Amino acid sequence: MKPPSLAPALPDIPIRPVGQMGLRELERIRLILRGGSVIDWRRMYFQTRDEVDAFLRLLQLDLSQSFDEVWARQVLAEAVEYLRKTFNYRVSNVVAQPEEIHDLFLFASGVKGSSRHRRIACVVLKVMHVIQHIEGRDLLFRLAISEAELAEVVTAKVLSVATEMQAKGLPVVEFAHSIKTQDSLITKLLAKKETVAAQVYDRTRFRVVTKGREDLLPVLYYLTQRLFPFHLVVPGQTENTLLPFKQVLAENPHFEQFIPKLQLDRDFEDREGPGKNIYSGNSYRALNFVVDIPVRMDAYLPTPEEDGRQRKGRIVISLVEFQIVDEETARINEMGENSHDAYKRRQKKRVLKRLSQGLVVPKRQT
């Protein structure tokens, strides 16, 4: 019999309307809308220990459990050693050995410690973020779990949150999942410049349709509070033709007061350029992004008391794509050149051209 999951319970949270969102929510949402990296951030936005604890639980870490605490301390120690050894970086002991791991996030938010502690804690957390990714991938490679089994585990986790959203009355009219077929995977890989299986991020994909456009941000933010931590969005894999950042600001004027405090200036997306799928119709609108969903693998590991591994991490990360769109836009997206059939025709035409280029003898001109 497999050991039970030790996934921590998440505290109940209210739905946050856009009008109640502040700088913290705006920064987190913007990170997803542009497919950015938290590595580029200069500060965090936690205000209390409880907020940090909820965030860590969303990461599947319960630091009241000794085995999770030991693992987190080990990751912290490795991050500090890396900075000291590689860059001769001076990490103060207050940050290197905090009373609680939670303190790192409060230091990085400027709630505890000095401004110097904030800067150092930010750097340390960035390295810890990378180490966590490396360990999560490494553990997945070592476990006796198939890709199909993992997809089932992740799907169950996502759909449980979908049920929770429905119970709370969030205006979601569709929450559907799909897994790409073998033929679809082959076609997508042949259509991409990088013909590598690892580059297909949407084998497990979820489509979320909200009642109205005004519901998009509350639904998106709720997902970051209950399903995936905002910082686990995969950089460079967002296609956003639905919610450009400046349009979000224009539709929600109360955000203007936070513009001077943003990590990036308001024109950053203009310089970066929008992400768009070349096979989509010109008027197709949607928000597509990829996240690493953290999943505890206790059922595939010895119990913590019997775990003799040197590295005792128990969390893997699984790539999942989300598409979020409102009901009216979803209807328009299925019309004319935007339809899924038209998308597939354009994609297949591109694949056939790549496959036959230089190999098919052209017809003789008369």
Q: What is the pLDDT along the chain (366 residues), one digit of tens a residue?
A: 555 678 899 999 899 999 999 999 999 999 999 999 999 999 999 999 999 999 999 999 999 999 999 999 999 999 999 999 999 999 999 999 999 999 999 999 999 999 999 999 999 999 999 999 999 999 999 999 988 899 899 999 999 999 999 999 999 999 998 766 666 656 655 666 554 444 444 468 999 999 999 999 999 999 999 999 999 999 999 999 999 999 999 999 999 999 999 999 999 999 876 555 555 556 789 999 999 999 999 999 999 999 999 888 999 999 999 999 999 999 998 886 656 676 667 667 776 776 776 565 555 554
**Contact at 8 Å (CB) between 101 and 64?**
no
Distance separating the N- and C-terminal Cα atoms of the chain: 74
pLDDT value, residue 179: 62
d(CA 343, CA 184): 13
For 172, 204, 291, 309, 320, the CA distances from 233, given in Å and listed in that order, are 22, 15, 4, 29, 10
d(CA 12, CA 173): 22
d(CA 329, CA 339): 12
pLDDT value, residue 79: 97
d(CA 5, CA 297): 7
Name residues whose C-beta falls within 8 Å of residue 258's C-beta, 6 or more positions apart in sequence. Answer: 22, 23, 26
d(CA 128, CA 85): 15
pLDDT value, residue 271: 86
pLDDT value, residue 201: 47
d(CA 269, CA 247): 11
**What SS3 state is found at 253?**
helix
pLDDT value, residue 284: 87
The torsion of the CA quartet 73, 3, 143, 188, rounded to 10 degrees, works out to -100
The reported pTM is: 0.85
Work out the number of other CB atoms within 10 angstroms of the CB of residue 340: 9
pLDDT value, residue 198: 43
